[in-house]
A and B are shown apart, each in its own frame.
Chain A
Amino acid sequence: MDNIKKSFGKSSVLNGISLDAQAGEFVTLLGASGCGKTTLLRIIAGLENPDSGNVFLDGREVTNLEPNKRDVNTVFQNYALFPHMNVENNIGYSLRLKGYPKVEIKKRVSEMLSLVQLEGFNNRTPSVLSGGQRQRVAIARAVINRPRALLLDEPLGALDLQLRRQMQIELKRIQTQLGITFIYITHDQEEALNMSDRIAVMRGGLFEQIGTASEIYDAPQTSYVAKFVGNANILRGKEFRLLSGEAYAVRGEHIELTPAEDGRDGFKAVVTDKRFAGGQLRLSAKLDVNGAEVVASRQGIDSPLKTGQRVLVSWKKEHEVLVADNEE
């Protein structure tokens, strides 16, 4: 993809985006809702035309090619399983369009059903399937053609947490097994970090940073990325000897809170909140120097520190990452 731009009416959604996905790679577009990731996906699929820029597939330009002429398939957000066709006809739809013989279609459909572990579901209609099963049928339908790339638009969004975790593993397995390029859209950083070879963090129609999971997590380049992926604390201002436009990103698990009496090095602060969330204890503290709030996360369910207690906030030098400050 090269320098894609798109706007709807007056609001510009994509502002010049370029990305090069390798064959067999799992690339995730990560971003908050409204950042333009779905539009980008629809442009790759051919369901939308860019105002400018080009889309290439295997070196061939496909920018203005009809969606049915592209070797790219999509798993839609709501799965878009045809309600009036059973599972077999849904999965076999693209082969029927190509005029494959019935026996061949049946064989390939069963292969696909076993790939997604739904053997024997041939004659059910989408309406009787569970969310997870629909998801699997949608994947099977999209990969039966062995596309060069599979586009997935928040495919796990409608599933509950446990199923989501399970499907992450499943998706990764299918991808490795088929060796197809996956372009995966999500707003969930955990999904992105778990599955992707590379992650592209999107914001306001632009890529904020592209890199492997560990590059994104450990070496964020901007405060937005640091905050969006892993909820890092962003510290800015001259109190930390930073210029404007610079900030430190420090992850919650690296923040130390010690009682003020300990007399260690650190910033004086007061504990403002103590919460147990997502399997972690989160302690918020307000710094005396500039009133900024930092959040420290801990394993375990409680801590001897109390709300209102005076504390010292510190972190190791190697855990602070200098990032460009691009937020308010």
Chain B
Amino acid sequence: MKKHVFLPNLYLGLILVLMYLPILMVIVYSFNVSKNSSMWEGFTFSWYKELFADKSMFEALRNSLILALLSAGSAVVIGTLAAVGMARTKLRGAGAMEYLATIPIMAPEIILGMVFLAFFSLLGIPFGMLTLVISHTAFCIPYVFLLVKARLAGLDKSYAEAARDLGASQIRAFLDITMPSILPAILSGALLAIAMSLDDVIISVFVTGVNTNTLPIKIYTQIKTGITPKTNALCTVLFGFTMLLGILSMRKSRRDL
């Protein structure tokens, strides 16, 4: 069966190259001297200097990080508790609730943006960090919940029972036995939630206030107003972060195995 490997490998390689092509373009042009032309006019670091001098950029970055950590954090607490609780007893209406809770990742994002915008203005909640955190938490919960739930479903109940049998209280058995087994699921749920929060622009655009910019919103408005190498520089820095995160989480999951 190992005969035809050349063509498949060529195909895989080609698609992967296409995946990286736009990213590569962004990086290359971040070093271009020319501001408007797509012609290569020489190498420069000046766009990075300009980027790091821009205070609003750092503020947007800070907002994005706070937002991601707060919403992923709440999602981890809410989602994990719910998955554990639902695994423990069969509650009435649990199925319907599960469906409702996962709507935020199933429905098109634009709908979420729309309903949050309308709902928050109905309630009179001022748009800003609070509304951002609530709406990001809404679409972060399903990731944590579903991952932890799947892990719990694959978990042998008799481990926790054995701990109870050997003298552990319910809480102790949960901390000693269940927790270590679902921890990887919680962590990957949290990472996924952070990634999704950092990436979101559609929902954020609708629910953010005038003074609260997140990095994606900032990039979005910059791209809309025109292509400048400064945006490229910002994107390149961002990409570097992603690489770092991806490699770290890869390392971690390998150790877990």
Touch test A–B (CB under 8 Å): yes
Interface mask (B146-168 → A, CB under 8 Å = 1, otherwise 0): 00000000001011011111111
**Is A66 at the interface (CB under 8 A from chain B)?**
yes
Q: Please determine whether A141 and B166 come into contact, CB atoms closer than 8 angstroms.
A: yes
Q: Please determine whether B162 and A68 come into contact, CB atoms closer than 8 angstroms.
A: no
Interface mask (B174-198 → A, CB under 8 Å = 1, otherwise 0): 0011001100000000000000000
- B165 surroundings in chain A (CB, below 8 A): 45-47, 67-68, 72-74, 142
A78-B156, A84-B180, A84-B181 known; A47-B161 Cβ under 8 A: yes
Which of A92-100, A202-210, A219-227, A269-277 is near enough to bind chain B? A92-100
Can you show 22 pairs from A to B with CB atoms below 8 A apart?
A47-B161, A66-B170, A67-B164, A68-B164, A68-B165, A68-B166, A68-B167, A74-B162, A77-B158, A78-B156, A78-B158, A80-B156, A80-B161, A82-B177, A93-B166, A93-B168, A93-B176, A94-B166, A97-B166, A98-B167, A141-B166, A142-B166
**Is B169 at the interface (CB under 8 A from chain A)?**
yes
Nearest-neighbour CB distance to chain A for B47, whole angstroms, equals: 49
- A97 surroundings in chain B (CB, below 8 A): 166-168, 172
Q: Please determine whether A80 and B181 come into contact, CB atoms closer than 8 angstroms.
A: no
**Is A168 at the interface (CB under 8 A from chain B)?**
no
Q: Please determine whether A82 and B169 come into contact, CB atoms closer than 8 angstroms.
A: no
Nearest-neighbour CB distance to chain B for A72, whole angstroms, equals: 8
From B162, B170, B180, A80 is in contact (CB under 8 Å) with B162
Interface residue range, chain B: 10 to 19
From B162, B172, B180, B181, A76 is in contact (CB under 8 Å) with B162
What secondary structure prevails in chain B residues at the interface with A?
Answer: helix
From B158, B163, B180, A93 is in contact (CB under 8 Å) with B163
Nearest-neighbour CB distance to chain B for A124, whole angstroms, equals: 18
Nearest opposing residue in chain B for A69, CB measure = B167
A84-B180, A84-B181, A97-B172 known; A76-B166 Cβ under 8 A: no
The interface of chain B, by Cβ under 8 A from chain A, is 156, 158-159, 161-170, 172-173, 176-177, 180-181
CA distance A77 to B168 in the complex (A): 20
- B168 surroundings in chain A (CB, below 8 A): 68, 93, 97
Interface residue range, chain A: 20 to 34
CA distance A67 to B176 in the complex (A): 16
Tell me which residues from 71 to 108 in chain A have a Cβ below 8 Å from any Cβ of chain B. Answer: 72-74, 76-78, 80, 82-84, 93-94, 97-98
Q: Please determine whether B167 and A94 come into contact, CB atoms closer than 8 angstroms.
A: yes
From A47, A67, A80, B159 is in contact (CB under 8 Å) with A80
**Is A280 at the interface (CB under 8 A from chain B)?**
no
**Is A145 at the interface (CB under 8 A from chain B)?**
yes
Tell me which residues from 129 to 154 in chain A have a Cβ below 8 Å from any Cβ of chain B. Answer: 141-142, 145
CA distance A100 to B147 in the complex (A): 37
Nearest opposing residue in chain A for B177, CB measure = A82
- B156 surroundings in chain A (CB, below 8 A): 78, 80
- A80 surroundings in chain B (CB, below 8 A): 156, 158-159, 161-162
Nearest-neighbour CB distance to chain B for A269, whole angstroms, equals: 50
- B169 surroundings in chain A (CB, below 8 A): 66, 68
- A74 surroundings in chain B (CB, below 8 A): 161-162, 165
